[in-house]
Amino acid sequence: MQPESSQCEEETPSLLWGLDPVFLAFAKLYIGDILDLKESRQVPGVFFYNGHPIKQVEILGTVIGRKEKDAFYSYGVDDSTGVINCICWKKSNNTESSSDLAPLQTDVIEELVVFLSPVFSGAHFLPSLQERD
């Protein structure tokens, strides 16, 4: 979690973000920390953790649910610090079957490294995998 003092600090200018090694790497963060990230005022889609600009994260957790939509798979991932919704986009190639796109079985819940796109909606993710329209 971020200390109180770092939340009040000024953001590093975006011109210097490339000098921070964390910015160009997948930052290994807990889901609880991801949910507490503050979005940059300079560039949407970039977040700050302890003064470091973050644009990509790697999480390790338990897949607690999976929903299939027309364009993507939605996974609920829990690492015991929080739950986050992750998206895995389907390939646009129509020749691939549905089984090729989703290697996980719906009845299997296992620990794995998830390289998916966390969904940042501006609000905390509610740990409910009910379908929303």
Q: CB atoms < 10 A from the CB of 95, how many?
A: 6
10-residue averages of pLDDT along the chain (133 residues): 54 88 91 93 92 91 92 92 90 57 44 45 42 43
Q: How far apart (Å, rounded) are the C-alpha atoms in residues 54 and 7?
A: 15
State residue 130's pLDDT score: 44
Which residue type does 45 have? G
pLDDT of 78 reads 94
Domain ranges of the chain: 4-58, 60-115
